[in-house]
Amino acid sequence: MQTTENLSIFALGGINEIGKNMYVIQYADDIVIIDCGGKFPDESLLGIDLIIPDISYLEENKAKIRALVVTHGHEDHIGGIPYFLRKLNVPIYATAFTLGLIELKLDEHKLKRDTKLIQIDSKTEIEFGKIKTSFFKTNHSIPDCLGIVLHTPEGNVVHTGDFKFDLTPMNNQYSDIHKMAEIGNKGVLVLLSESTNAERPGLTPSERMVEDHMLEAFTKASGKIFVSTFASNVNRVQQVVEAAMKTNRKLALLGRSMVNIVSVAIERGYLTIPDGMLMEAQEIDKLSSEKVAILCTGSQGEPNAALARLATGNYRDAAIYPGDTVILAASPIPGNERNVSSIIDNLFQLEAKVIYGSGSTTGMHVSGHGYQEDLKLMLTLMKPTYFIPIHGEYRMLHHHRLLAESVGVEKGNTFIIQNGDVVDVQNKVARKTRKIPAGDTYIDGMGVGDVGEIVLRDRKQLSEDGMLVMVITINKVDRKLISGPDIITRGFVYARNADDLLKEVNKRVKKTVEELQAEDTRQWNIMKQNIKKSVGQYLFAQTRRRPMILPIIIEI
């Protein structure tokens, strides 16, 4: 008998990439979605603002979707939610802090709140149809993170979320290590575990490592102190608060996300700032420098964030003076190194003291993602029969597989998947056999998915060599040229350098029109092709450029 009582596991995003995490567990007619992230495009995706997962499979199966469960509040796990909700109205389950960040996001997008947002914690147990779901606490560079256990008739599936094992965490962000052991003891059929730091040997340092270094920097500093970090790294923020407190500095917050996220963190009890310690940005200059600490956004070099503007002297409410200290308490994400370096250059030009570089050098940053020993500890606790490394580029997944095998996962039982590859489990046997649609959906301005390969290819050509438009007006009776060619160029070459070039282009267009006129044809497409060819060859020979050539023929 053919049965649909099948457990299926797949990713719609997060595999072979860092970003747009979205994983799906389906048992029979019940679907649970885990996370809905966004990803920032690299420079090859001209004009694209954000990438989100292709959710066409979910749209086709929307009646089966029981929940979107969100493991934590980072952009690569919640950034796609506003777009997701426009297509699918699914209840969202997350912890208090994560929900706070999701609500901020929905407000920014001015989305109506007809979506159910359901607060859960690590003790919650819910049934999503036949998928009984429970949770465990993990530690990461944002508070209130969850791992998820999906109990299905076929067996238990565990999704770790992002994690490290920090045995001395700030703010009581302890991992549920005993609960994890218990889950492992009861039997895990499939483990999905994050792979970000699978290339790095050792154990991730504790967030506490930052404590002494931060205090030392605060103690040594004479002028104002600026600390730039991710606003969502609330435990790091807490350490800045404490260093400021111990050195009698008041604290200002610069940057919209810093102000918003800190206020969510305070409201919901994840951050403690003593009364009277916070001050408005406008008060900074009223206090003497050694009484001031400032937390600001922009640690990734974002050109419009507070730090970049401070570094060029373009921030309205605050300025960096010679002798002030600037601490970069975050590592640049690959791709952001140049922007961060240029900010550091600007800060030195302002004669600031700058504390920057890798966390192991400065002590101002530790990773939130487990290194190899953390990953091995998770694998050891969970003892999965099958393993799917997730959340990483291929080389990370590859190394994570080796780690799994080193702690006893059987060879052949690790599935390195692509987004869209489905792992089906039936009678406790897992197989990777089929694919569902998965890919990138581009967000450009308000457009979702209306920009694709052709538009991007045109943008690329325009960006590299610009364009020439040539308008020709032709008599519809005798096909003689009435006026033109009128030639306009943009992004190609300075007009003043192009006089001779454009004269020859003009001549060639006229000649092409005359040739076509001699033949008795009204095939404007042929005329356009011939113009493109003749002008294109000439311009390439002269300039080694291939601008877009757009002949426009007006018949009158």
In this complex, which beta carbon is closest to a second copy, that of residue 211 or of residue 302?
302
C-alpha–C-alpha distance, residues 107 and 296, integer Å: 22
Give the binding-site size for a second copy (rule: CB under 8 A). 66
Burial 156-165 (b: 16+ CB within 10 A, else e): bbbbbbbbbb
Does the footprint of a second copy cover residue 222 (CB under 8 A)?
Answer: no
Q: Measured from the CB of residue 532, what is the shortest distance to a second copy in angstroms?
A: 13
Q: Measured from the CB of residue 50, what is the shortest distance to a second copy in angstroms?
A: 12
Residue 163 corresponds to which tokens in the numbers above? 């994690």
Tell whether residue 366 is among the known ligand binding residues. Answer: yes
Which of 41, 51, 66 has the alpha carbon at shortest distance from 438?
51
Is 194 considered catalytic here? Answer: yes
Q: Measured from the CB of residue 239, what is the shortest distance to a second copy in angstroms?
A: 25
Does the footprint of a second copy cover residue 108 (CB under 8 A)?
Answer: no
Q: What is the largest CA-CA distance in the chain?
A: 90
Strands 250-254 and 278-279: parallel
Does the footprint of a second copy cover residue 538 (CB under 8 A)?
Answer: no
Tell whether residue 140 is among the known ligand binding residues. Answer: yes
Q: Measured from the CB of residue 488, what is the shortest distance to a second copy in angstroms?
A: 6
Residue 62 neighbours by CB distance under 10 Å: 14
Sheet harboring 440-444: ordered strands across? 50-53, 440-444, 447-448
- Tell how far CA 88 is from the center of its chain: 21
Binding segment (CB under 8 A) for a second copy, from list 274-282, 305-313, 383-391, 483-491:
483-491
User: DSSP E strands: which ranges in 95-242?
Assistant: 117-119, 125-128, 131-138, 145-152, 155-159, 190-194, 225-228
Overall residue count recorded for the chain in this entry: 556
Does the footprint of a second copy cover residue 518 (CB under 8 A)?
Answer: no
Residue from 338, 503, 507, 522 binding a second copy (CB under 8 A): 338
Whose structure tokens read 């029979």? 28
Residue in 17, 75, 154, 194 annotated catalytic: 194
Which residues, including other chains, have CB under 8 Å from residue 457's CB and lie 6 or more apart? Answer: none
Residues of this chain, 186-215, that bind a second copy according to CB under 8 A: 199
Does the footprint of a second copy cover residue 493 (CB under 8 A)?
Answer: yes
Does the footprint of a second copy cover residue 110 (CB under 8 A)?
Answer: no
Is 369 considered catalytic here? Answer: yes
Q: Which amino acid is at 56?
A: S
Residue from 245, 471, 504, 524 binding a second copy (CB under 8 A): 471
Whose structure tokens read 């690790």? 414
Residue in 213, 369, 399, 400 annotated catalytic: 369
Does residue 485 have a cis peptide bond before it, meaning omega lies within 30 degrees of 0? yes
Does the footprint of a second copy cover residue 455 (CB under 8 A)?
Answer: yes
DSSP state of 415: -
Give the residue numbers of the binding site for substrate. Answer: 231-233, 365-369
Chain residues binding a second copy by CB under 8 A are: 16, 42-43, 46-47, 199, 334-335, 337-338, 341-342, 344-346, 348-349, 354, 357, 393-395, 398, 444-447, 450-452, 454-456, 458-460, 462-467, 469, 471, 473, 482-484, 486, 488, 490-494, 497, 542-545, 548, 550, 552, 554-556
Give the residue numbers of the binding site. Answer: 47, 49, 72, 74, 76-77, 140, 162, 231-233, 365-369, 391, 444
Q: Which residues are catalytic?
A: 194, 369
